[in-house]
Structure 1
């Protein structure tokens, strides 16, 4: 089974001891050394018991094939490696692991704007060279829908590193409606992709609130010498869970949206839910289906409903249904037609 970081660190300490053939390692001495090292680097609360030490020794044997043996000198018992040249640090990477790394790299390389995938690819290549493995399949077998002309991806990696390093960003930002860009000091927390566009969630000093910023509207980005404010405002991981898209207006509440999809589109809706909250309420004899999603109403939801055309009808809330009617009327007017509604 996979080894967690804390266990791996203990294994490395034990490994260091057992490789030291100049010292006899009784269980008591081994336990003292391990706990001394743990306390030094991780605090006294990380001390382990004698039973945990015994379990670690067994795990090293099963997970790494460590040749741990117990030998007797007089009336005392000690531990050592049967092979003094062995070390868990010198165990080669398995070919299967390299295959998995290569597959992960191919997926990452499809995210435009990240050079980290290429850096990982170089690491994998060096490992392959070191251990005489070779990945013959260089043709991707998984492809994502992509937009190669998408603007803003050139800033993606810089913002990613700013989030990791907790840097405040000075961003010159111009909305589509603004005549001139405006400068904001943003404490970045999360990158979000939606509809082939990347967005940044962060705290804005000037507004003293959380905001969403499209990367393709950023004209210039610099690191600001401001003290970073950690995110204590929202749960970034769940911030978008109750919306379709990224638009969240202040004080909006979640609403139950009831929709009826035609028999043409119903199978697709059932197999690819609109939202995590989707529930199938009723299957009609003609093959149409009623579904419910619990979301915040926003422009992205309206656009999604419009994209289904005649194959969807908004049953509630009424104000969303009216919004769709207005959009449909405007669409007819574009073609010189008038709505009967």
Structure 2
């Protein structure tokens, strides 16, 4: 394998040539395509030799590369190159042997953190990568993680992450669910959070000191901003979300004490998957369990409670119980 810095650029250029059904690529054409690709990327003119092309093809055909199958077709005294399978591309194959070894090394490093405080995510990450890349040697699917493959906005995740990491302001085009037209504004991103298979970014708009959150699936475009980055000197996000289910919270909101009576038959589900970290058992009866929570009464929390249906009863606060009752009445009217 060629180890110089242009190797991957050449592989990608060759892959496009081999997969192009509308043109015959002879050796000289492959040399020109690779030279042009390098010049386009680096801005410097580079001449790729015949020997280099032959070495690249040899590597791409090897198990260490992508095990490509080339059709070397004679045309008079010359030969042109194309994939046997016209739909094949090295980008369609997950990993070659070298890349797989690199991933395994990374996984080995991550595995050292398993079981350590604040590294709970490592266990799931290891399983996700091993399953996705079949690193355990099995091609049969044996595990599936909750995800939404149709979710919009994920293409902005890495851009937002880098902006937070390198403290860069952004200009965001956004259209909320209730907005008729899009709005554009300068935004200073501070924090990314996933909830219920959706991603949200927290930060401040240029003319405001109030924290706001944007759903990534409502973002239309993101580009670099010219405004000086306004750092987050106020919010500690660990504390910010301590009393919250989900991502929304009014500026002046305060957590409230919530008393819930849970049907005994349903209690194992809520016991093993608590509604919130503050959940405590106050009383156990034959037919029910009384629990106490200390949490913000936001949209996500109310939606979660409503999803439990007849299995729970809100005892306190009375206003929350009344709100859920009104929702239930509206629901019943839909089916009458």
Query: TM-score w.r.t. structure 1 length?
Result: 0.60
Q: Is the 8 A contact 1:172 1:220 kept in 2?
A: yes
Partner residue in 2 for 1:315: 315
1:206 Cα shift?
A: 2.6
Partner residue in 1 for 2:56: none
1:113-163 Cα offsets, whole Å, 9 max, x none, are xxxx89xx99xxxxxxxxxxx954466765421111111111111111111
Query: Structure 1: where are the runs of 5+ without partners?
Result: 1-92, 111-116, 123-133, 337-341
Partner residue in 2 for 1:325: 325
Mapped to 2, the partners of 1:216 and 1:98 lie a distance apart of 30
Q: Does 1:268 align with 2:269?
A: yes
1:184 Cα shift?
A: 2.1
- Structure 1 residues 138 and 228, CA gap change in structure 2 (3 angstroms): farther
Mapped to 1, the partners of 2:258 and 2:239 lie a distance apart of 20
Q: Is the 8 A contact 2:264 2:286 kept in 1?
A: no
Mapped to 1, the partners of 2:277 and 2:319 lie a distance apart of 23
1:212-264 Cα offsets, whole Å, 9 max, x none, are 11111111111101111111121123221211111101211110010011122
| Equivalences, count | 223
SS for the counterpart of 2:224 is strand
SS for the counterpart of 1:171 is strand
- Structure 1 residues 106 and 278, CA gap change in structure 2 (3 angstroms): closer
Mapped to 1, the partners of 2:124 and 2:252 lie a distance apart of 41
- Structure 1 residues 192 and 109, CA gap change in structure 2 (3 angstroms): farther
Query: TM-score w.r.t. structure 2 length?
Result: 0.61
1:99 Cα shift?
A: 3.7
- Structure 1 residues 234 and 324, CA gap change in structure 2 (3 angstroms): same
1:98 Cα shift?
A: 5.0
Mapped to 2, the partners of 1:301 and 1:311 lie a distance apart of 16
Partner residue in 1 for 2:3: none
Mapped to 2, the partners of 1:313 and 1:290 lie a distance apart of 9
Mapped to 2, the partners of 1:327 and 1:218 lie a distance apart of 30
- Structure 1 residues 175 and 108, CA gap change in structure 2 (3 angstroms): farther
Q: Does 1:206 align with 2:207?
A: yes
- Structure 1 residues 137 and 309, CA gap change in structure 2 (3 angstroms): same
- Structure 1 residues 313 and 251, CA gap change in structure 2 (3 angstroms): same
SS for the counterpart of 1:209 is coil
Which structure 2 residues correspond to residues 126-205 of structure 1 after superposition, within 5 A? 136-137=136-137, 143-205=144-206
Mapped to 1, the partners of 2:263 and 2:274 lie a distance apart of 15
- Structure 1 residues 138 and 222, CA gap change in structure 2 (3 angstroms): farther
- Structure 1 residues 136 and 197, CA gap change in structure 2 (3 angstroms): closer
SS for the counterpart of 2:211 is strand
Q: Is the 8 A contact 2:170 2:188 kept in 1?
A: yes
- Structure 1 residues 99 and 137, CA gap change in structure 2 (3 angstroms): farther
CA RMSD of aligned residues (A): 2.9
Mapped to 1, the partners of 2:105 and 2:219 lie a distance apart of 42
Partner residue in 1 for 2:68: none
1:208 Cα shift?
A: 2.9
Q: Is the 8 A contact 1:107 1:142 kept in 2?
A: no
Mapped to 1, the partners of 2:289 and 2:124 lie a distance apart of 39
Query: Structure 2: where are the runs of 5+ without partners?
Result: 1-101, 115-121
SS for the counterpart of 1:188 is strand
SS for the counterpart of 1:162 is helix
Q: Is the 8 A contact 1:184 1:206 kept in 2?
A: no
**Runs of 4 or more off by more than 6 Å in structure 1?**
none
Q: Is the 8 A contact 2:279 2:293 kept in 1?
A: yes
Give 1:107's match in structure 2, choosing from 115, 118, 125: 125
- Structure 1 residues 237 and 142, CA gap change in structure 2 (3 angstroms): farther
1:108 Cα shift?
A: 7.0
